[in-house]
Amino acid sequence: MDIKKGLKEAFRKLSAKVTLDKESIKEFLKEVQIALISADVPVKLVFELTKKIENSVFEDKIPPAISLKEYVLKKTYDELCQLLGGEKPTIELKKKKILLLGLYGSGKTTSAAKLAYFYKNRGLSVGLLCADIDRPAAYEQLEQLAKKVGASFYGIKNEKNLEKILELENQVKEDVLIIDSAGRNAFDQEMAEQIKRIEQKIKPDEKILVVSADIGQIAGQQAKQFDQVLKITAIFITKLDGSGKGGGAIAACHQTKVPIMFIGTGEKIDQIEAFDSKKFVGNLLGFPDFESLIEKIKQAAEKEELKMEDFESLDFETFYKQLKAAKNLGPLSNVLGMLGLSEVPADLVQLSEQKLKKYEVIINSMTKKERKNPKLLKESGRIERIAKGSGLKVEEVREFIAQFNKMEKLFSGIKKNRGLQKRLEKVLGSKKINEILDNFKPN
């Protein structure tokens, strides 16, 4: 399963839930686990992540201003950001020398051009230096890319003496110098020595390891090896566009504590991004940031046309309206679900079409006054009259009234619970709720 699809679906399912219980949270976390493991995130990290979420959801006090659902989603979002990169590293826009390192085909040369593009766009002049003495066409490749991106190019064609090439550094006048180095099949002694030689000669300000996302969690081991030899300063993860293992590569690299600074999202030179875990996670989940997720949940509720007026008073007419809406997983159940109200009676939310029709008939058999004032039904003879008028049994009318009373109890529950009111205010985006609930007169 693809990580994006898996996580998005898990978040979507949880957002749509009317009420949350332990089971549904566990089910959600299991889906998160599957999505992450399928993206090659190390299993140990996945279990640590879900354990942390579980502990805080089941054991911590949930702040009163937030619903359980919001809390679970927020906690998961935060932990995913922590797992997949953490804090966004700062990229300094100043004069500097950057050495790129990495194994064969990881994307060093392409990424050198992308970095040139990145810094040029931020007002710095850039030089590209070819220090790859092994790959026959390395010189031409970088030369062409330099031309394309509008950077100066430095190199000596067919020169095998690395020191001689590195002498070119003295001629560089640009603000940012990016040095492309030779790759290897695997990390070995020879490679370690070569990159050390470059490091000593150039003394780069930044040493960026280029790793490809398609190797998944192995990227972490590579980062560790390179870091042990010459303390890398940042990681550039390439090919995130085509790999289902990007999450694994990011999580494993983040473990090494070397910041992931850039990502490559395509073959073209403008397909570079400064890495931001929040943006990455938001993109996986299909919204730019957490606030917009909450906004989305709110909008979904609003779309179902929940109005503040619907809370103003509960009579048989508004009750029917709510039931109808609740049937389509509409406003009331949505809102109550968002508030983490687990006691929404399931039989209210899952009314059958048939029952709803029956209720409609009952309401139609009431007088206008009765519809607006449920208390009137306590007067003898009225229920019987309604039953007769609607062609239903007295018990059926009584059942309808019982449902109404359940809803009314829920409303007065809200009236008494200040924390809940606050949450409701937040969801509905109004301060008027107190006023409105005060107007609601229980039966």
Ligand X SMILES: Nc1nc2c(ncn2[C@@H]2O[C@H](COP(=O)(O)OP(=O)(O)OP(=O)(O)O)[C@@H](O)[C@H]2O)c(=O)[nH]1
Torsion sign (Cα): 79, 249, 15, 298: positive
Reading the block at residue 111, the tokens are 């990424």
Q: Which of 69, 97, 108, 358 binds ligand X (CB under 6 A)?
A: 108
Binding footprint of Mg ion, residue count (CB under 5 A): 2
Q: Minimum distance between the CB of residue 28 and Mg ion, rounded to whole angstroms?
A: 43
Indicate whether 105 belongs to the interface with ligand X (CB under 6 A): yes
Q: Minimum distance between the CB of residue 263 and Mg ion, rounded to whole angstroms?
A: 18
Indicate whether 110 belongs to the interface with ligand X (CB under 6 A): yes
d(CA 72, CA 66): 10
Only one of the segments 249-257, 258-266, 280-288, 306-314 lies at the binding site for ligand X (rule: CB under 6 A); that segment is 258-266
| Other residues' Cβ atoms within 10 Å of the Cβ of residue 16 | 13
Indicate whether 403 belongs to the interface with Mg ion (CB under 5 A): no
d(CA 187, CA 180): 17
* Binding flags for ligand X, 342-381, as an x/- string (CB under 6 A): ----------------------------------------
Q: Minimum distance between the CB of residue 202 and Mg ion, rounded to whole angstroms?
A: 17
Q: Minimum distance between the CB of residue 141 and ligand X, rounded to whole angstroms?
A: 7
Within 21-40, the residues that bind ligand X by CB under 6 A are: none
Residue 105's binding partner among ligand X, Mg ion, none (Cβ under 5 to 8 angstroms by kind) is ligand X
Half-sphere exposure (CA, 13 Å, Cβ side) for 404? 26
Q: Minimum distance between the CB of residue 63 and ligand X, rounded to whole angstroms?
A: 41
| 284, 249 contact by CB (below 8 A) | no
Indicate whether 243 belongs to the interface with ligand X (CB under 6 A): no
d(CA 104, CA 215): 12
Q: Which of 50, 67, 76, 106 binds ligand X (CB under 6 A)?
A: 106
Indicate whether 19 belongs to the interface with ligand X (CB under 6 A): no
Burial of residue 72, with CB atoms counted within 10 A of its CB: 0-12 exposed, 13-18 middle, 19 or more buried: buried
- Of 135 and 422, which has the nearer Cβ to ligand X? 135
- Of 97 and 239, which has the nearer Cβ to ligand X? 239
Q: Which of 89, 107, 330, 337 binds ligand X (CB under 6 A)?
A: 107
Q: Minimum distance between the CB of residue 248 and Mg ion, rounded to whole angstroms?
A: 24
d(CA 366, CA 267): 70
Half-sphere exposure (CA, 13 Å, Cβ side) for 362? 28
d(CA 439, CA 443): 12
Q: Minimum distance between the CB of residue 270 and ligand X, rounded to whole angstroms?
A: 11
d(CA 124, CA 152): 12
H helical segments located in 272-367: 277-285, 290-303, 316-327, 331-338, 346-349, 353-364
> In sequence order, which residues have a C-beta less than 8 Å from that of residue 145 and are 6 or more positions away?
109, 110, 112, 113, 116, 128, 269
Q: Which of 163, 241, 347, 384 binds ligand X (CB under 6 A)?
A: 241
Indicate whether 181 belongs to the interface with Mg ion (CB under 5 A): no
Only one of the segments 34-42, 52-60, 86-94, 265-273 lies at the binding site for ligand X (rule: CB under 6 A); that segment is 265-273
Sheet holding 126-131: strands in order across? Answer: 152-154, 126-131, 176-181, 96-101, 206-212, 234-238, 260-264, 272-274
Place of tokens 């997983």: 329
Reading the block at residue 323, the tokens are 């039931």
Binding footprint of ligand X, residue count (CB under 6 A): 21
Only one of the segments 63-71, 244-252, 264-272, 306-314 lies at the binding site for ligand X (rule: CB under 6 A); that segment is 264-272
Residue 222's binding partner among Mg ion, ligand X, none (Cβ under 5 to 8 angstroms by kind) is none
Only one of the segments 34-42, 263-271, 289-297, 357-365 lies at the binding site for ligand X (rule: CB under 6 A); that segment is 263-271
Within 77-116, the residues that bind Mg ion by CB under 5 A are: 108-109
d(CA 172, CA 96): 11
| Other residues' Cβ atoms within 10 Å of the Cβ of residue 309 | 9
Q: Minimum distance between the CB of residue 110 and ligand X, rounded to whole angstroms?
A: 3
* Footprint on this chain of Mg ion (rule: CB under 5 A): 108-109
* Footprint on this chain of ligand X (rule: CB under 6 A): 102, 104-110, 132, 135, 138, 183, 238-239, 241-242, 264-267, 271
